[in-house]
Amino acid sequence: MTNQQGRLRMRVAVFACVSAAALIVDQLTKAWALAALSSGQTIRVIPGLLSLTLVRNPGASLGMGANVTWIISLLAIVASCALLYFGVRSVSLKWTVSLSLAFAGAFGNLIDRVMYADGFLNGKVVDFLNYGWSVGNVADIYLVAAGVAIVVLILLNEPFSTADADEAHANNAESNGAKVDAE
């Protein structure tokens, strides 16, 4: 087995483990919310900051697109496939973990849209974490965390692919060569 094959296997394993663990937590918390909370009931956890309120959201963030749920579901399918593809193609473990969290968030909400559908991909997402201005779920937390991590990785120029890593290495070699010439 070559070193590249070993890295690919490791990235696939990390992607699978992080995604599976995150999906399990997401689905377990949603199952708990469905069993423990009645619709409209609010339980204060941290007054003024967080409460628990069961909501079945047909739309996307903040309820947008509630009447085109099937389009949101199709976009979630495309996003999940793309995140899976790019997650295992990355040469960076940081990118792999970030993309696996984004995958878990998108796929976790897609599971709800399929499980609770009464028509073509028109199911509702189980939301229960009430922040006062929005109600979300654990999958939404994964999506936000992954989004922040991806922005940070871009700002830090973390190489995503072999080509990016080679380019970064070449740029470092050039700048080190310029330092040597200046001395």
Q: Which residues are catalytic?
A: 127, 140
Q: CA 120 → CA 85, 89, 102, distances in Å? A: 25, 32, 24
In the chain, which ranges are continuous DSSP H helix? 3-36, 69-89, 93-115, 138-155, 162-182
Of residues 116, 95, 104, the one with CA closest to residue 33: 116
Residue pair 20/92 in contact by the 8 Å Cβ criterion: no
The rounded Cα 118 to chain-centroid distance in angstroms is 26
The rounded Cα 3 to chain-centroid distance in angstroms is 28
